[in-house]
Amino acid sequence: MAEERASFGSKLGMILATAGGAVGLGNVWRFPYMTGQNGGAAFILIYIGCVLLLGIPCMISEFIIGRHGASNTFRAYSKMSGGKAWKYVGLLGVLTGFLITGYYAVVSGWCLQYIYASVMGELHGDPTAVKTYFDTFATSPVRPIFWTVVILWVTHFVIIHGIRGGIEKASKLLMPTLFVLLLVIVVAACLLPGAEKGISFLLKPDFSKVTHQTFLNALGQSFYSLSIAMGCICTYASYYTRQTNLANSAIQVALVDTFVAILAGLVIFPAAFSVGVNPGSGPSLVFITLPNVFNEAFSGMPVIGWIVSLMFYSLLSLAALTSLISLHEVSTSFFSEELHLSRKTGATIVTVATTIIGAFCSLSLGAVNWLYVGDKTLFDVFDFVTGQIFLPVGGFLTCIFLGWFIPKTVVKDEFTNWGTLRGRFFGVFLFLVRFVCPLAILGIFLHQFNVI
C-alpha cells in the first residue's frame, strides 16, 4: 500500500498545476516560430495529431508511474521495477529536470528584465537599437544573473509552502491570470490593420509546404511542449488521488497546453503580418523581433503599444514561472525524500544549486570567454544535452518500461482506477505506448543527428 502522501485539494487545482507545468516558454515562444517556419495551419494540424498519438499516451504513462509509485520520480521507477536498473530512468528524469531548471531560469529572468524595460520605455527605437539592447543585456555579467536569482527565489517561495498551500494555490492564481492576459493581447493584435493575413496564415492550411521535416518538427514540438520525461508529470502525478481519471486528466492538460500555444499564435502572427515581419524568424522572435513589431504596429497609439508590450512580457514571465515551479518540485521531492530532509531544506539545496548553474550559463553567453565546451557555450551545452539527448532517451525508455516491463494488469488497474472506469481505449493506449510512441521518439532522436 502506498505511504500517506500530500495530494492536491481539488480537481481544478490539480489540472491547473499540471497544465502550468506543461505551459511555458515553449508555448508562447517556440510554438509560434516553429509554426511560422513550417507552413502555418498545416503544421498545427500535424502537431495536434502528434499530441494525440504521442503526447497524451506518454503523459498517461508518466501519470501511471507517478501515482502508482506515490513518491519522487526516482523512487517511483524504483518501486515499479522492483529496484532493477529501470530505476535509473527515473533518476535520469530527476537529473533532466534539475539541469533544465538551471538554464531555463536564465531565459525566464530575461522575461522579467523585459517587463522592467517595458515599464521604463527602454524598448523603443529602431530595429538596430532593439537588437543592441538585447545583446548588451544578455552579455552583461550582472543584470541577467540578478533576474535569474529573482525568479528562482520566487519559485522557491512557492515550493516551500507545499502542494496545496504553495503549488496548487499559486497555480489557481497564475494560470487564470495568464489566460486573461493572453486573451486581452489576442484581441489587441487581431484589431491591427492587416491582421487578417496573420489569422489566415494561422488557420488556413497550406499543405504544399509540408515535408517530412514538418512531421518531425511537429513530433518534437509535441514532445517538448508537454514537458514529457522531465520528471514534472511523474512527480505531480504522485500527488494525485486514487479517484483521479488519468486519461481524462492527460487530455485536459493537453487541451490547455495546445489552446495556449494557438492563442500565442493569434498574438504573434496578426501583429507580425500587420507590419510585414517574417513570423518564422526563429528564437530571436520574442526578444528582438517582437519589440520592433509592437513599436511599429502601435506607432500611432504609443500608450496602447506600451500596455501590450508590458502585458506580453508579463504573460511570458507567468508561463516561465509555472514551468519553473514544476521543474523545481521534481528535484525538491527527490532531495527531501531520498536524503530524509524537510521540504524547506530540500528546496533550498535545489534553489542554491540551480542559481549557481544559472549564473554560469548566463556568464557563458558573452560576459566571459572561457565557459565553452568545444564550440558551444555552457548554456548551449545544457540545452543540447537535456533537450536533444536526455528528453528523447528518457521518453523512449519510459514507453518501453511501461509498455513491455510492467505487468499489463498493473497498467490496466491504474488506467481504469482499479476497474471503476470502463477503460474503453486501454487497448489503443497500450498499442501506442508499445509501438507508435517508441518508434516516433526514436525517429526524432536519430533524425537530429542526421542518421535518418
Is the pLDDT score of 10 beyond 70?
A: yes
3-state secondary structure 282-297: HHHHCCCHHHHHHHHH
In a domain, 271, yes or no: yes
In a domain, 4, yes or no: no
In a domain, 67, yes or no: yes
In a domain, 3, yes or no: no
Q: Are 138 and 365 in contact (CB under 8 A)?
A: yes
Q: Are 202 and 44 in contact (CB under 8 A)?
A: yes
The number of angstroms, rounded, from the C-alpha of 373 to the middle of its chain's C-alpha atoms is 26
In a domain, 139, yes or no: yes
Q: What is the pLDDT of residues 11-23, one digit of tens each?
A: 999 999 999 999 9
- In this structure, how many other beta carbons lie within 10 angstroms of the beta carbon of residue 435? 12
Q: Are 166 and 233 in contact (CB under 8 A)?
A: no
Euclidean distance between CA atoms 272 and 57, whole angstroms: 35
Cell numbers 500555444: residue: 261
The three-state secondary structure class of 131 is helix
Rounding to the nearest 10 degrees, give the CA dihedral for residues 58, 64, 65, 71: 130
Q: What is the pLDDT of residues 261-270, one digit of tens each?
A: 999 999 989 9
pLDDT band at residue 282, thresholds of 50, 70 and 90? low
Average pLDDT over residues 408-414: 97
Alpha-carbon distances, residue 289 vs 274, 285, 424 (angstroms): 13, 5, 47
In a domain, 399, yes or no: yes
Average pLDDT over residues 124-145: 91
In a domain, 6, yes or no: no
Number of domains within the chain: 1
The least confident of 131-140, 181-190, 278-287 is 278-287
The least confident of 49-58, 200-209, 319-328, 372-381 is 200-209
Q: Are 345 and 334 in contact (CB under 8 A)?
A: no
pLDDT band at residue 283, thresholds of 50, 70 and 90? low
Average pLDDT over residues 278-307: 82
The number of angstroms, rounded, from the C-alpha of 242 to the middle of its chain's C-alpha atoms is 26
Q: What is the pLDDT of residues 383-405, one digit of tens each?
A: 999 988 999 999 999 999 999 99
In a domain, 43, yes or no: yes
pTM of the predicted protein model: 0.95
Is the pLDDT score of 188 beyond 50?
A: yes
pLDDT band at residue 296, thresholds of 50, 70 and 90? confident
- CATH number assigned to the domain comprising residue 80: 1.10.4160
Rounding to the nearest 10 degrees, give the CA dihedral for residues 157, 158, 160, 161: 120
Range of the domain at 325: 11-448
Q: What is the pLDDT of residues 51-83, one digit of tens each?
A: 999 999 999 999 999 999 999 999 999 999 999
At 1 the pLDDT is 34
The maximal CA–CA distance of the chain, rounded, in angstroms, is 66
Cell numbers linked to 388? 536533444
